[in-house]
């Protein structure tokens, strides 16, 4: 699986989300400063609430922009045989059902799912429970997946 192409898919999804977030922030800002939102009495907080919403959405847009910058600069090393999982690793994990799940260890955008080469790749961060379980493991290591049965661990079968 091509990690450069995977990164481009991640960035494309983040850019699409950013465009939506910037638009939502602008709409909330327009609502906050609209003449129609002006308080009619001391208990009317519509404009204030719209302002808080605009601020929160602008903050989320800034976080997405920062994620785009960080992921764009992320090194995508080739992991030699015996190398441990680290940032930039794409790990294939065989689960207890005998099927494989793919995880990309990335500093941001955790929880994002990307479709590539007819596979679903889940982006995980080192701060997430799953990311902590994968970090430092090697091919053949058992990985107790969060929420899974501790008696049945999945195994890492490839690190790219």
Q: Is the pLDDT of residue 150 over 70?
A: no
Q: In the chain, what percentage of residues exceed pLDDT 90?
A: 68
Separation CA 121–CA 144 (nearest Å)? 19
Q: Is the pLDDT of residue 127 over 80?
A: yes
Strands 119-124 and 90-94: unpaired
Q: pLDDT digits over 49-104, tens only? A: 888 888 999 999 999 999 999 999 999 999 988 899 999 999 999 987 888 999 99
What mean pLDDT is predicted for residues 9-34?
91
Q: Is the pLDDT of residue 27 over 60?
A: yes
Residues 99 and 112 sit within 8 Å (Cβ to Cβ): no
Task: Report the 10 Å Cβ neighbour count for 94.
Answer: 15
Q: pLDDT digits over 91-103, tens only? A: 999 987 888 999 9
Total residue count of the chain as it appears in this document? 160
Which tokens is 99 given? Answer: 């099927």
Query: End-to-end distance of the chain based on CA atoms, in angstroms?
Result: 8
Q: Is the pLDDT of residue 151 over 60?
A: no
At residue 149, the pLDDT reads 59
Mark 9-44 as b/e (b = at least 16 C-beta within 10 Å): ebeebbeebbeebbebbeebbebbeeeebeeeeeee
How many CA atoms are closer than 13 Å to the CA of 43, on its beta-carbon side?
0
Share of the chain residues as helix, strand and coil, in percent rounded to the nearest 5? 40, 20, 40
Residues 51 and 70 sit within 8 Å (Cβ to Cβ): no
């Amino acid at each position: 699986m091509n990690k450069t192409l995977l990164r481009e898919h991640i960035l494309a999804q983040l850019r699409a989300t950013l465009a939506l977030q910037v638009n939502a922030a602008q709409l909330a800002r327009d609502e906050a400063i609209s003449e129609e939102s002006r308080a009619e009495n001391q208990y009317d907080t519509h404009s204030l609430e719209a302002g808080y919403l605009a601020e929160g959405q602008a903050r989320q847009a800034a976080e997405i922009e920062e994620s785009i910058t960080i992921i764009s600069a992320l090194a995508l090393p080739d992991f030699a045989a015996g190398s441990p999982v680290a940032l930039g690793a794409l790990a294939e994990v065989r689960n207890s059902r005998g099927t494989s799940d793919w995880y990309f260890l990335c500093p941001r955008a955790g929880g994002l799912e990307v479709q590539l080469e007819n596979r679903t790749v889940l982006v995980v961060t080192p701060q997430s429970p799953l990311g902590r379980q994968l970090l430092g493991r090697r091919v053949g290591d058992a990985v107790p997946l969060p929420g899974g049965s501790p008696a049945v661990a999945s195994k890492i079968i490839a690190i790219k």
